Structure 1
């Protein structure tokens, strides 16, 4: 369940002075799915517990709020009527409703994970998942003997394509001949389609299965078939301890706790295009490594992680797509706008429905 802020959108007009709460912060969260879904929503719920500890206060929440205005608005307004003045959403589909709520309740601060709308009291946020998937790709390349990798993806959107490409670039950092065969399921969460895709990729020779879908099914299939995988959202060793080499994990508490403190301090100024969070500021990180990743390669991956934390760019030039077209010149870095609209693939990526 992931889509995110569009850096190409026009910036909203913000007042010179920032947003300030009228009372002490009282926080509420709207969850897209159940808190124990094993993926996207559970990552937010686990972050909530850590934020509560850091801030020293309880956070109200409600589960299973679908991406429908008729459900989103009443859920948010119920919390606001109870005194909540910071409301956190967790879904792309909340974007329009949160924009309307922000206008209706100018005294309330709104944050929305994977949203697309922003205002003087509303900030969308999302993580640079390509950074952690690049590192997981390195683990996949290190564990594979043939260099044949697979990837189960949801939809061919920019935020998914950048994880696919980064996974391939990471694998090729370790094994220049590595290839990544991708199957799109057409949905964020469908264990049946995810199982079919993972099985097909393994039947085609994939030794490691990466993923950008919500359930741990690809990792479970990899373990059942005696193969390996890399996870998304959370540490998927919980579901497939023998198969999972590395996981891209959300670390929302590292972003949300400081952001809530900024709101509480007053004069908060949301980013006009939303917050696009790097690993160094709490977007994602990695969890692992499985024993199939050689110890010397683990050191290489950890060194790359440190380099990214210090500002190394995954999409730095020179970089061409699989058709030979230059996408990033030598000395350049792919812009955020180009990241959001990424509709191309690097060399070695093979796509199919």
Structure 2
């Protein structure tokens, strides 16, 4: 069943899993076999992985090929909030466990019967991989997963409004946010790039970009961030501009052609001769990039950054225009923007 801290599960979806998800599961000792290996002997598996929106509906065909019930692991936040509960009622005898890893990966929520075999095995396996697990009922776990993005969206809206207040008062959001986070009830960090609803952030980006373009001659724009966000931007927000798009590593690329602009394979090609860089994802590649190199790549070093990727003192000391939420740098003011 599970040996040396490794659990083998068969994926339900016929499509290959995203590389980031495969690595995420491997980090806690879960190996995924392709959907065609549905037989227990062929796959050496102990159950099925339900990790996508339509996986639960496709599960019945796979279960019919098994000689006895095993584990149905409902993983992550890409499945319906009631998926585990529905599967438990639909397939009696199979042990359904709801597993969710919180941001950072050091903690996990396990929803299931604490005395059942697979709940105990998964908790032990998480501990072997240095992940702290909280065990609760399946319905409680699903409620946590349902409410968490709502709370994070509310928190992001609060800090965006705080940023506007900081702008008006001439104080720095990063300093204020860090100080608020010293209270354990608040905590550090407030931008959540995994959110589906980024309406407030999109409004901020549109407002800042329109302001920049009204003050400077911008011809080429580089967008750094997930396609899903750029495709939700209002039509015509970059009308008459040459737009290049760079999708950070580990971002899932949607099917079909992008409507956000020309997709570039490297960040260098996206930034080449750009007048404006718009950042919507805290990508490590960008955060490790020296600002001097960014300036060298661009025709005009103008950056609108929703994620505060660069140190403000460094941005202020260089000949560039840099704008992030709640931070009007000296260079921004000096340039007349």
What range is the shorter-chain TM-score in? 0.3 to 0.5
Greater relative contact order (Cα 8 A, min sep 6): structure 1 or 2?
1
Larger Rg: 2
* TM-score normalized with structure 1 length: 0.33
